[in-house]
């Protein structure tokens, strides 16, 4: 083999790498913006670009010494660096969630280990003032060997961390040749089993840093606050020996705040050799709401290191989390590095795009799941204001998927940790990953919590890592949800964990925790699984956040759908691939499609829900007589006065009948967590259904957001004399006379009900209409159906098995008896019906009453009784297949965003108009979508005729060009074929959405679990 098998040797994690240090970019002079323009530094040489590349299916196929200085690479391909090779046609894509894609046999990996050889030539010129050169790789998956000009430089692993090599003695002036061998798997892969596509290569930047022989090697800034003063302490290490260091601190106006020289101290066990303490009077503190940064300049040995400093403190007291002495709530997300085109390779612009969309949707915190991000990402979070849980590159989930005899969960938990997490042979590996995380990011104010990793089990390796972390950096908190997963083999040390962390707890578990006098703050590192149409429980969790001071918030799983872009269909629809689409084994299907945004960062409706749940202010009470609202400030630091503007509108029966604005000067003084009253001015009509909508907008430009940007809204029902929508009342009103009398004919199968305006055919065998013709226009292209099925959402992925076992997806109606009564202007049809399916008993017993008047209006009364042996229903209502030309929709209810019983905070009441095709929410794996809850009427129409559905009790509906069968059967949205109809579902209601794809079961109050239901509505055809 061409290289020694370091990749299976736990005793060789790195070879010839520099000690881990803080991220910085040195320069010969002070430079303003090295966050986004580090290439401006004359001591920075970026080596990115097109490199020569050859892929091998096995390390044993690499025979030639490609790293030699004059090796001929003419036959090599080219690949961009940074990138992952799977995105350029090499190897294959594979998505797994928890399972290792190789045998669980640590530290050994497959013998036929795929690899890639890289060769790059570049010009180098020695800087006489910075004679040393250091080669940096910010991310390589999974391990790599390095040569420079034919000489071996070193070896490293830990995919998502920086590896730095001293290459001074290998470089020469003029052209140089850098060669790298990257292997797909190494022993570290057992600790990198994150829920993601498995991708390989040099996926982050590669660069050289030119440094003086004697200079600062590392520094650690910490801040403390006492009253109206702050101290910024900076500790230093040097390349070799103590050097004079001058430190200046500037505010954002470039005023010098403090200046001092470092004083030599007795070297401690971490190697700090000198210290400077900078005093700051009346400090401007950093928080996610006010991310104020000071600029620090460190001058030593002929170079300048410029950095940004945020003054802030984080602590816990009485089991409550505080930042700058304020109780803080994290409304956060878990974020992977993921892009459908570039994979793990994320540019600065891509980072900023994510952060912009997060800010637009009231996200204030990020967990870097489940590895460190590129270092510039943290600097952007410092600048734009996000709290970070910074997570080590550790996940050992696959150790929980081993074969066990007599498998049960407790047995599996007990076995999980033994191979790796509680195995001393892996202690160095785990601690190394923690140290590389903490050392690199220790100066970032946005990092408030260190996480040891994700879903690893627990044991001696993490106990050691936690002990080191708390000793090294006591000024931040520690987190490790996986500490819950232990055996009974011994007692465990939890003393260095600051937070009690949970994933996907049920609400009752939160109540139980706070009912037991806890000694640590409660945090949800993952909750509200946002897969597909979801999440559906955000408001309930928000209420728990506010109920308990010790509940410091949570991080929704997850930010983006992971997918691979495969081009477009002939009609221009994007093709996204997920697990299994590359015939890989094992794979976990579309479980990677679980984000709040689509792969191209278009928001899911779940993100719109998140935004309004976490709006900065809420109306918590309303006095209609005085028109006074009480505003509560849910910010943790900012006063609402000066932060937001407010406008409002009174909507009555879908029409705006009153508006008003409250400018910045008129907003009352409302400090964080406080509330105050505010009077509005509007006139309430005597009748109608009225809703007051209060909109919050940003008062001034702030970071990534511009003044006027919408921050959220409240909606309050306003009482009138009748609180009734007048259009609804008019539609429900009986007409005395429309047309000639109704004629009825009957045979064994059908009732034929008609007059000069309409002709309806009623199927006595099903209890439903087969045809409805109005003014010579066919309204039903297929017979009407009773409907209990919905295309399972991703959050139905567990429940759908019960639904299918109950044959809900193949249920049909059967009538036992039908009677008809006729009066002068009305025909009443009554049918006794059941809903059942092949091989099973009746699901529902139903009494149907249809009353048809001479205008063609049909009143429906449906009385249902369910066999309680069956699970809750997906939905209950009727389905109609209308002509495709009926493609326009007008409705009064919740809109314009889709809504469900537990997912409706992004919607508001009003009169909405839309096109059927545009009401489809195009989830990548097709599923139920586009419902609108709390509706009073809906009109579906063409240019010539239409059908109104109206009820005296609100209902839900959706219209689609697709059938639920089509949505159920297809695996990808680009495979969907329109039905040729406008499919209209009118529902008593639907089951809630929830987050049971990876979370607790649906709350009882949102289940469609009633034993009996009465559902009434009217169908009214009309001409235009």
Q: Check whether residue 455 and residue 496 sit in a common domain.
A: yes
Q: Check whether residue 204 and residue 188 sit in a common domain.
A: yes
H or E segment to which residue 432 belongs: helix 427-441
561 token code pair: 């759908």
Does residue 838 lie within any of the structural domains?
no
List Cα–Cα distances, 405 to 412, 415, 417, 645, 675, in angstroms: 10, 12, 17, 63, 58
Q: Which residues pair with 222 in a beta bridge?
A: 233
How does pLDDT run across 160-171, given as a tens digit for each residue? 999 999 999 999
Indicate which residues carry an active-site annotation.
455, 526
Query: Residue 451 above 90 pLDDT?
Result: yes
Domain end marker among 659, 691, 724:
724
Does residue 65 lie within any of the structural domains?
yes
Does residue 320 lie within any of the structural domains?
no
- Quick one: pLDDT at residue 737? 65
The CATH number covering residue 385 comes to 3.20.20.80
Give the mean model confidence (pLDDT) for residues 496-512.
98
- Distance (Å, rounded) from C-alpha 200 to C-alpha 143? 9
Q: Check whether residue 656 and residue 593 sit in a common domain.
A: no
Domain end marker among 591, 612, 633:
612
- Quick one: pLDDT at residue 392? 98
Q: Check whether residue 800 and residue 717 sit in a common domain.
A: no
Query: Residue 21 above 90 pLDDT?
Result: yes
Residue 825's pLDDT band (cuts 50, 70, 90): confident
Q: Check whether residue 972 and residue 898 sit in a common domain.
A: yes
Q: Check whether residue 957 and residue 990 sit in a common domain.
A: yes
Does residue 755 lie within any of the structural domains?
no
- Quick one: pLDDT at residue 824? 81
The CATH number covering residue 110 comes to 2.60.120.260
Residue 195's pLDDT band (cuts 50, 70, 90): very high
Q: Check whether residue 963 and residue 1001 sit in a common domain.
A: yes
Q: What is the DSSP letter of 429?
A: H
Residue 663's pLDDT band (cuts 50, 70, 90): confident
Does residue 326 lie within any of the structural domains?
no
Domain end marker among 589, 612, 635:
612
> Parallel, antiparallel, or unpaired for β 256-261 and 206-211?
unpaired
- Distance (Å, rounded) from C-alpha 314 to C-alpha 325? 8
175 token code pair: 């052209």
**Mean pLDDT, the chain, as a whole number?**
97
How does pLDDT run across 290-346, given as a tens digit for each residue? 999 999 999 999 999 999 999 999 999 999 999 999 999 999 999 999 999 999 999
Residue with tokens 């005729």: 945
Does residue 990 lie within any of the structural domains?
yes
The CATH number covering residue 278 comes to 2.60.40.10
Query: Residue 43 above 70 pLDDT?
Result: yes
What percent of the residues of the chain are helix, what percent strand, and what percent coil, each to the nearest 5? 15, 40, 45
278 token code pair: 């900078």
Does residue 784 lie within any of the structural domains?
yes
- Distance (Å, rounded) from C-alpha 723 to C-alpha 954? 13
Give the mean model confidence (pLDDT) for residues 921-934.
98
Does residue 836 lie within any of the structural domains?
no
Determine what percent of the chain is predicted with pLDDT higher than 90. 97
The CATH number covering residue 1007 comes to 2.70.98.10
Give the mean model confidence (pLDDT) for residues 41-54.
98
- Quick one: pLDDT at residue 529? 97
- Distance (Å, rounded) from C-alpha 923 to C-alpha 574? 12
Which 3 state secondary structure label does DSSP give 1019?
strand
Residue 688's pLDDT band (cuts 50, 70, 90): very high
Domain count, the chain: 5
How does pLDDT run across 66-82, given as a tens digit for each residue? 999 999 999 999 999 99
Name the H helices within 830-922: none
- Quick one: pLDDT at residue 736? 60
- Distance (Å, rounded) from C-alpha 780 to C-alpha 773? 8
Q: Check whether residue 597 and residue 738 sit in a common domain.
A: no
Range of the domain at 474: 331-612
Determine what percent of the chain is predicted with pLDDT higher than 70. 100
How does pLDDT run across 720-764, given as a tens digit for each residue? 999 999 999 999 997 766 768 899 999 999 999 999 999 999 999
Q: Check whether residue 187 and residue 232 sit in a common domain.
A: no
pTM strictly above 0.85: yes
921 token code pair: 């929410």
**Within 13 Å of residue 543, how many CA atoms lie on the same side as its CB?**
8
H or E segment to which residue 890 belongs: strand 888-895
Q: Check whether residue 60 and residue 172 sit in a common domain.
A: yes
Q: Residues 845, 834: contact at Cβ < 8 Å?
A: yes
Beta strands in 170-228, from DSSP E residues, in sequence order: 174-183, 196-197, 201-202, 206-211, 216-226
How does pLDDT run across 789-805, given as a tens digit for each residue? 999 999 999 999 999 99
Q: Check whether residue 40 and residue 101 sit in a common domain.
A: yes
Q: Check whether residue 227 and residue 290 sit in a common domain.
A: yes
Measured from the Cβ of residue 215, the count of other Cβ atoms closer than 10 Å reads 20
């Amino acid at each position: 083999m061409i290289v020694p098998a370091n990749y299976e040797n736990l005793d060789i994690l790195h070879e010839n790498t520099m000690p881990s240090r803080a991220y910085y970019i040195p320069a010969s002079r002070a430079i303003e913006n090295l966050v986004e323009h580090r290439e401006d530094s004359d001591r920075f040489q970026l080596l990115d670009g097109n490199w020569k590349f050859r892929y091998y299916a096995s390390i044993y196929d690499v025979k030639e010494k490609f790293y030699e200085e004059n090796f001929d690479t003419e036959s090599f391909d080219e690949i961009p660096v940074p990138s992952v090779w799977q995105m350029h046609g090499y190897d294959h894509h594979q998505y797994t969630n928890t399972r290792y894609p190789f045998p669980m046999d640590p530290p050994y990996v497959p013998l036929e280990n795929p690899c890639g050889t890289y060769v790059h030539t570049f010009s180098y010129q020695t800087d006489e003032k910075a004679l040393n050169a250091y080669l940096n790789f910010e991310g390589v998956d999974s391990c790599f060997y390095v040569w420079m000009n034919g000489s071996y430089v070193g070896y490293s692993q830990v995919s998502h961390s920086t590896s730095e090599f001293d290459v001074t003695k290998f470089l020469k002036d003029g052209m140089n040749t850098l060669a790298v061998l990257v292997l797909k798997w190494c022993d570290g892969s057992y600790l990198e089993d994150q829920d993601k596509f498995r991708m390989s290569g040099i996926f982050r930047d590669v660069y050289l840093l030119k440094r003086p022989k004697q200079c600062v090697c590392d520094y650690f800034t910490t801040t403390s606050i006492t009253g109206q003063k702050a101290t910024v302490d900076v500790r230093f290490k040097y390349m070799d020996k103590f050097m004079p260091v001058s430190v200046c601190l500037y505010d954002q106006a470039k005023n010098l705040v403090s200046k001092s020289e470092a004083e030599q101290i007795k070297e401690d066990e971490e190697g700090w050799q000198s210290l400077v303490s900078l005093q700051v009077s009346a400090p401007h503190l950093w928080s996610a709401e006010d991310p104020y940064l000071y600029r620090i300049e460190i001058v030593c040995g002929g170079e300048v290191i410029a950095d940004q400093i945020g003054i802030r403190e984080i602590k816990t007291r009485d089991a409550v989390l505080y930042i700058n002495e304020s109780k803080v709530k994290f409304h956060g997300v878990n974020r992977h590095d993921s892009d459908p085109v570039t994979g793990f390779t994320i540019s600065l612009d891509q980072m900023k795009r994510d952060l912009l969309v997060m800010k637009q949707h009231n996200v204030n915190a990020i967990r870097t799941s489940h590895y460190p991000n590129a270092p510039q990402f943290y600097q952007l979070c410092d600048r734009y204001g996000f709290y970070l849980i910074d997570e080590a590159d550790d996940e050992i989930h696959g150790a929980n998927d081993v074969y066990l005899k007599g498998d049960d969960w407790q047995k599996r938990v007990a076995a999980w940790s033994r191979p790796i997490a509680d195995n001393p042979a892996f202690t160095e590996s785990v601690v190394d990953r923690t140290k590389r995380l903490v050392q690199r990011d220790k100066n970032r104010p946005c990092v408030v919590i260190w996480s040891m990793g994700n879903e690893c089990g627990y044991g001696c390796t993490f106990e050691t890592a936690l002990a080191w972390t708390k000793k090294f950096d006591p000024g931040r908190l520690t987190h490790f949800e996986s500490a819950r997963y232990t055996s009974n083999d011994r007692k465990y040390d939890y003393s260095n964990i600051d937070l009690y962390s949970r994933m996907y707890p049920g609400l009752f578990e939160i109540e139980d925790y706070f009912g037991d006098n806890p000694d640590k703050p409660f945090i949800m590192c993952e909750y509200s699984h946002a897969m597909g149409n979801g999440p559906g429980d955000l408001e309930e969790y928000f209420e728990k956040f506010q109920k308990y001071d010790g509940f410091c918030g949570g991080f929704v799983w997850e930010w983006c759908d992971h997918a691979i872009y495969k081009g477009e269909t002939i009609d221009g629809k994007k093709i996204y691939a997920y697990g299994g689409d590359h015939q890989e084994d094992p794979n976990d299907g579309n479980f990677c499609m679980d984000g709040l945004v689509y792969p191209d960062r278009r928001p899911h409706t779940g993100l719109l829900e998140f935004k309004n749940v976490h709006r900065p202010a809420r109306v918590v009470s309303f006095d209609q007589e005085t028109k006074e609202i009480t505003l509560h400030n849910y910010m943790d630091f900012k006063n609402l006065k000066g932060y937001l503007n407010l406008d409002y509108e009174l909507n009555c029966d879908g029409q705006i009948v009153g508006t008003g604005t409250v400018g910045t000067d008129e907003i009352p003084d409302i400090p964080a967590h406080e509330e105050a009253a505010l009077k509005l001015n509007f006139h309430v009509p005597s009748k109608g259904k009225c809703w007051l909508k209060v909109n919050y907008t940003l008062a001034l430009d702030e970071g990534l957001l511009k003044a006027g940007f919408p921050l959220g809204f409240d909606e309050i029902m306003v009482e009138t004399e009748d609180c009734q929508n007048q259009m609804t009342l008019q539609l429900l009103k009986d007409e005395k006379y429309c047309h000639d009398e109704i004629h009825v004919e009957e045979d064994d199968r059908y009732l034929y009900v008609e007059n000069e305006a309409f002709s309806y055919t009623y199927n006595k065998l099903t209890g439903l209409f087969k045809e409805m013709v109005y003014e010579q226009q066919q309204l039903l292209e297929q017979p009407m159906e009773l409907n209990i099925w919905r295309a399972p959402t991703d959050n139905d992925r567990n429940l759908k098995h019960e639904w299918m076992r109950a044959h809900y997806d193949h249920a049909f109606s059967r009538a036992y008896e039908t009677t008809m009564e006729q009066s002068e202007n009305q025909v009443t049809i009554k049918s006794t019906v059941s809903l059942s399916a092949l091989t099973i008993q009746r699901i529902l017993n139903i009494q149907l009453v249809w009353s048809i008047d001479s205008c063609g209006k049909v009143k429906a009364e449906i009385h249902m009784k369910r066999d309680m042996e069956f699970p809750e229903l997906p939905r209950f209502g009727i389905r109609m297949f209308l002509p495709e030309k009926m493609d326009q929709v007008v409705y009064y209810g919740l809109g314009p965003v889709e809504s469900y019983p537990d997912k409706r905070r992004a919607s508001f009441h009003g009169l909405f108009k839309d096109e059927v095709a545009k009401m489809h929410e195009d989830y990548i794996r097709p599923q139920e979508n586009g419902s609108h809850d709390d509706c009073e009427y809906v009109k579906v129409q063409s240019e010539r005729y239409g059908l109104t559905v109206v009820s005296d009790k609100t209902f839900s509906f959706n219209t689609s060009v697709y059938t639920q069968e089509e949505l159920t059967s297809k695996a990808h949205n680009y495979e969907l074929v329109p039905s040729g109809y406008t499919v209209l579902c009118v529902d008593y209601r639907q089951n809630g959405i929830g987050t049971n794809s990876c979370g607790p079961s649906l709350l009882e109050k949102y289940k469609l679990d009633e034993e009996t239901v009465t559902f009434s509505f009217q169908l009214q055809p009309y001409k235009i």
